[in-house]
Structure 1
Amino acid sequence: MNPIKKVSLLIPIYNEALFLPTLFQQIQAQDYPTTAIEVIAVDGDSTDSSLALLKSYQRTMPALMVLRNPRRNTPSSLNLAIAQAQGDYLIRLDAHTEYATDYVRQCVACLEKTGADNVGGHIRIKTTNRVTQAIELATTSVFGVGNSHFHYTQYEGYVDTVYLGAYRRQVFEKIGNYDEALIGAEDDELNYRLIKQGGKIYLSATIQSFYYPRDSLKKLWLQYFQYGQGKYGVIRKHTLPTSIRHLVPALFVLSLVLGILTSFYQGLGFYLLIPILSSYFSVLGLFTMRCTFPKALSLTGLVALVFLTLHLSYGCGFLIAGLREGLRRLHLLRA
């Protein structure tokens, strides 16, 4: 009989007081042997009661280690946790997510069964209002997120990235830790390096969690704007995009900008804008109806706005990151 593998749960935290009680209840409810689990929570100098809550949990959870990270960003918090982790397997958790009671056990089982270097499950959305319902519909559509398989609950197999992730310790020893300069894209970049060096990532339906998305269009915009900026950093670092889907929103926004600017010169830009906008809104309408008909027609307008938010914010973030890089190269902007 194989010995039970020790697991380290890595949790970056910043102002998560609302979600921490549920998170720690679910950690304590895991059906994996308690003696084989250590929990490392890294607080990014939260301004709410997150740190106080973590300290209170330590009184009843001897296996909980609490670290502080004044840099606040997620990849640096994860790297601090990795440096302290003693587990054979390192599982990243997120405070905005709920976990099945067998989450840890299924991660371990999948790692051992498949021999993969990283395993994870699908994103299952936990809705709290009409905006989150619309986000659920849009982000489980190929028009919303491209061929990002972990958004589609029916897919299982080898992929280029997964949600969160459970890694073998040797992964970090072999390819290094998270890139702390790529905030918002640290997972994608780490997984890109992993695959580039011969590693395998497996998506399993048995690993179940439920994610709380942003609850307003403004918060969704800021989230995907950061994702776009981070993805530019990944492509700049590795020269080539990890997938063509990462370039499409930026190309769409760039074509709109060029069309608007050239419209001031004898109206030439209209010849670019008209076919692009007519094509985009035709496809937008088609996929919006596919998402909402017939059971969610009341969300039609919101789903369309979510699609627009996903595409424009991601594309703007990507292009602005590129513009800043260009200005720095020309010494017109400080690093």
Structure 2
Amino acid sequence: MPTPPRPFVSIVMPALNEERYIAEAISSVVPQSDTLDYELLVLDGGSSDRTREIVRDIASRNERIKLLHNERRIQSAAVNVASEACDARTAILIRADCHAKYPEEFAARCVDTLSRTGSSSVVVAMQAVGHHPTQKAIAAAQNSRLGNGGSQHRVAGRSGYVDHGHHAAFDLEIFRALGGYDETAPYNEDAEFDTRLIEAGGRIYLDGSLTIEYYPRSNFRTLATQYFRHGWGRANTILKHGKTPKLRQLLPVLVLVACVGGLVLWPLVGITALLPLAFYLVTCLAWATALAVQARDASILLAAPAAVVMHMSWATGFLVREFAHRRQKLVHRLRDLRARFGTANAGPTP
């Protein structure tokens, strides 16, 4: 019996100043065989580098590749725009990122997994890869349990139904029915969507055989910004849906509070107040040393400060969003009390 044809696929790639990575990302994600009918939509958020020029050059040799403008700039908006602007034949959306290299026939295999498992969404594992010492150290930290907390989609080869993972493929009809990504949440839009998907009765399948290579940030400053946004976004999703944080999400917050508390109490209670900070830093250094020995690369020792930056930035972002939420609730409560007592004190009109 002949194999039924695969459905038409729209591969969506949000981009903003990605001249270093976008050519390789496109090359690796574009289907190499003729067994998949597709288009690739690059949604550019207003790049100021050569990103658009590179995409136009590639598109001149492949008419299936199209460059679109994402006036709202953020990734969630890019995917939402593509979900409406895609070809009328599209049945499945494939989300692809510029900071990644994809395994052979990635899109076709995502389609097959979606069909085989009967799931609403397919997510994949990711392995961080660095090109120079600092990026290699950041990648090592992100690949280790110290940096990822044991997140399922950070473990290559593990497959099964999950509640979240690195987004790869969606049933377009379901994506639209759920309203796509929440653009009011500029960060963590993937986990927020997964929460709504599961609440609606959908299923998410992690295909560990489709591990992508992810290129992390190349310096600590941009890493701090990225992880602050991750923490802010995770707190926003938790607050929006009334969820309880997982232990691995609470640990960075607890460590930050303990370390800052120790520094504050140090002048009052002495050196013992710094024990939590000392224990944390020694743990990070010991972990990085083990990674460096395993890799036989001294530069991996930089995984220690990388982990500290990741933890502290994530926790700070989480707390900033949490405090903003509590402040907003307090303001609303005070307004309600003012309105209530103001009405009570006004008395009857003579």
TM-score between the two structures when normalised by the length of structure 1: 0.88
Q: Is 1:45 aligned to 2:46, yes or no?
A: yes
1:284-332 Cα distance to aligned partner (Å, 9 max, x none): 2443343233443513530111111110111111112233344445559
* Selected match of 1:180 from 177, 180, 183: 183
Question: How far 1:160 sits from its partner (Å)?
Answer: 2.3
* Selected match of 1:25 from 24, 27, 39: 27
* Selected match of 2:225 from 222, 225, 229: 222
Q: Is 1:305 aligned to 2:314, yes or no?
A: no
Q: Is 1:97 aligned to 2:100, yes or no?
A: yes
* Selected match of 1:142 from 136, 140, 145: 145
Question: How far 1:46 sits from its partner (Å)?
Answer: 1.1
What does residue 319 of structure 1 align with?
319
What does residue 210 of structure 2 align with?
207
Any conservation in 1 of the 2:153–2:206 contact (CA below 8 Å)? yes
RMSD (Å) for aligned C-alpha atoms: 2.5
What does residue 81 of structure 2 align with?
80
What does residue 18 of structure 2 align with?
16
SS in 2 for 1:153: coil
Q: Measure, in 1, the Cα distance between the counterparts of 2:161 and 2:170.
A: 14
Q: Measure, in 1, the Cα distance between the counterparts of 2:161 and 2:300.
A: 33
What does residue 256 of structure 1 align with?
259
Q: Measure, in 1, the Cα distance between the counterparts of 2:55 and 2:123.
A: 26
Residue identity opposite 1:230 in structure 2: G
1:181-230 Cα distance to aligned partner (Å, 9 max, x none): 22231111111222232222222232142111111122211111111111
SS in 2 for 1:107: helix
1:81-115 Cα distance to aligned partner (Å, 9 max, x none): 11123421111001111112311111111111222
Q: Tell me whether 123-132 or 152-161 shows the greater mean CA deviation.
A: 152-161
Any conservation in 2 of the 1:30–1:104 contact (CA below 8 Å)? no
Q: Measure, in 1, the Cα distance between the counterparts of 2:207 and 2:38.
A: 21
Q: Is 1:232 aligned to 2:235, yes or no?
A: yes
Paired residues in the alignment total 328
1:31-77 Cα distance to aligned partner (Å, 9 max, x none): 3535x101122111111222233334443333233321222111111
Any conservation in 2 of the 1:30–1:103 contact (CA below 8 Å)? no
Question: How far 1:242 sits from its partner (Å)?
Answer: 5.5
Any conservation in 1 of the 2:128–2:142 contact (CA below 8 Å)? no
Any conservation in 1 of the 2:76–2:182 contact (CA below 8 Å)? yes
What does residue 126 of structure 1 align with?
129
Residue identity over aligned pairs, in percent, reads 27
Change (3 A) 1:321 1:60: same
Any conservation in 2 of the 1:135–1:213 contact (CA below 8 Å)? yes
Any conservation in 1 of the 2:262–2:274 contact (CA below 8 Å)? no
SS in 1 for 2:113: helix
Structure 2, unmatched stretches of 5+, are 333-350
* Selected match of 2:162 from 159, 162, 176: 159
SS in 1 for 2:208: coil
Structure 1, unmatched stretches of 5+, are none
Question: How far 1:243 sits from its partner (Å)?
Answer: 2.9
* Selected match of 1:115 from 107, 115, 118: 118
Q: Measure, in 2, the Cα distance between the counterparts of 1:89 and 1:268.
A: 60
Change (3 A) 1:308 1:43: same
Q: Measure, in 1, the Cα distance between the counterparts of 2:245 and 2:32.
A: 34
After superposing on structure 2, the runs of 4+ consecutive aligned residues of structure 1 that deviate more than 6 Å are none
Any conservation in 1 of the 2:29–2:105 contact (CA below 8 Å)? no
Q: Is 1:71 aligned to 2:72, yes or no?
A: yes
What does residue 59 of structure 1 align with?
60
SS in 2 for 1:39: strand
Question: How far 1:269 sits from its partner (Å)?
Answer: 8.6
SS in 1 for 2:183: coil
1:159-195 Cα distance to aligned partner (Å, 9 max, x none): 2222232111232133221111222311111112222
Q: Measure, in 2, the Cα distance between the counterparts of 1:99 and 1:238.
A: 32
Change (3 A) 1:18 1:294: closer
Change (3 A) 1:262 1:328: farther
Q: Measure, in 2, the Cα distance between the counterparts of 1:153 and 1:207.
A: 8
Any conservation in 2 of the 1:227–1:314 contact (CA below 8 Å)? yes
SS in 2 for 1:109: helix
Any conservation in 1 of the 2:140–2:300 contact (CA below 8 Å)? no
Residue identity opposite 1:21 in structure 2: A
SS in 2 for 1:199: coil
1:227-262 Cα distance to aligned partner (Å, 9 max, x none): 111112111211214533222212221233334345
Any conservation in 1 of the 2:232–2:321 contact (CA below 8 Å)? yes
SS in 1 for 2:78: helix
Q: Measure, in 2, the Cα distance between the counterparts of 1:312 and 1:269.
A: 24
